[in-house]
């Protein structure tokens, strides 16, 4: 991973590039040379900070999907193995995503990108360029005044677009949350 976060100035830019090598790169379906390739990008985007309101952060390039409990990176995955749902949801998009923190208790994410790659290894490149996936998510976070529940969160999101294998429309809904335990 090569990473440079935007600095603290009003207008700033950074980048994030995460590469994969080996069998995991083949499964990702984003080969650099030819597909399948044992060298691929997991994520590769430019990170732009725009001083509008509280500041909008844009990711332009390939980024991980907003929705889903399990991460493509195994070390980020809270489970020992993958669930059935992991192999049916999109895992990354190439496009533009925007992140905005309305207040300490509300964050919004939205984006538009290609329709894949899907973890089920559906070849998203078989689509015409005009086929797009649309992403949205909001997250509510409990304030410090909630005592032991401070920091608890509830997220709801949507990803939708045409399925690369049969041109049917796919809607993926997500609801998830975190709850801190009152014990140390």
pTM over 0.75: yes
**DSSP letter string, 90-107:** B-EEEEEEEEEEEETTEE
74 pLDDT band (50/70/90 cuts)? low
User: Stretch 171-177: mean pLDDT, rounded?
Assistant: 87
Any idea what DSSP says for residue 70? S
Q: What is the pLDDT of residues 112-156, one digit of tens each?
A: 988 655 444 344 444 556 678 899 999 999 999 999 899 999 999
What is the pLDDT averaged over residues 55-76? 80
Which residues, other chains included, contact 96 with Cβ-Cβ below 8 Å and sequence gap of 6+? 58, 59, 60, 111, 112, 113
In degrees, rounded to 5, the angle at the alpha carbon of residue 38 between the alpha carbons of residues 111 and 86 is: 45
pLDDT category, 8, cuts 50, 70, 90? confident
Report residue 4's pLDDT band, with 50, 70 and 90 as the boundaries.
very high
With a pLDDT cut of 70, the percent of the chain lying above it is 70
Confidence label for 69 from pLDDT (cuts 50, 70 and 90): low
pLDDT at site 68:
66
| pLDDT in the model for residue 42 | 83
In the prediction, which pLDDT does 166 show? 61
**pLDDT bracket for residue 108 (50, 70, 90):** very high
**Distance separating alpha carbons of residues 105 and 25, to the nearest angstrom:** 37
Half-sphere exposure of 58 (CA within 13 A, CB side): 15
Of the pLDDT bands very low, low, confident and very high (cuts 50, 70, 90), residue 40 is: confident
């Amino acid at each position: 991973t090569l990473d440079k976060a935007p600095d603290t100035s009003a207008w700033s830019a950074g980048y994030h590039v995460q590469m994969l090598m080996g069998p995991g790169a083949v499964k990702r379906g984003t080969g650099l040379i030819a597909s399948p390739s044992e060298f691929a990008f997991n994520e590769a985007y430019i990170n732009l900070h725009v001083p509008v309101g509280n500041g909008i952060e844009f990711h332009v390039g390939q980024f991980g999907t907003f929705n889903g409990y399990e991460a493509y990176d195994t070390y980020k995955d809270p489970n020992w193995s993958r669930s059935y749902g992991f192999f049916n949801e999109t895992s990354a998009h190439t496009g533009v995503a925007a992140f905005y923190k309305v207040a300490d208790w509300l964050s919004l994410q939205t984006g538009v990108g290609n329709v894949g790659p899907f973890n089920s290894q559906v070849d998203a490149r078989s689509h015409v360029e005009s086929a797009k996936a649309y992403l949205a998510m909001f997250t509510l976070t409990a304030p410090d005044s909630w005592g032991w529940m401070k920091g608890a969160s509830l997220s709801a999101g949507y990803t939708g677009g045409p399925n690369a294998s049969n041109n049917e429309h796919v809607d993926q809904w997500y609801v998830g949350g975190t709850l801190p335990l009152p014990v140390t």
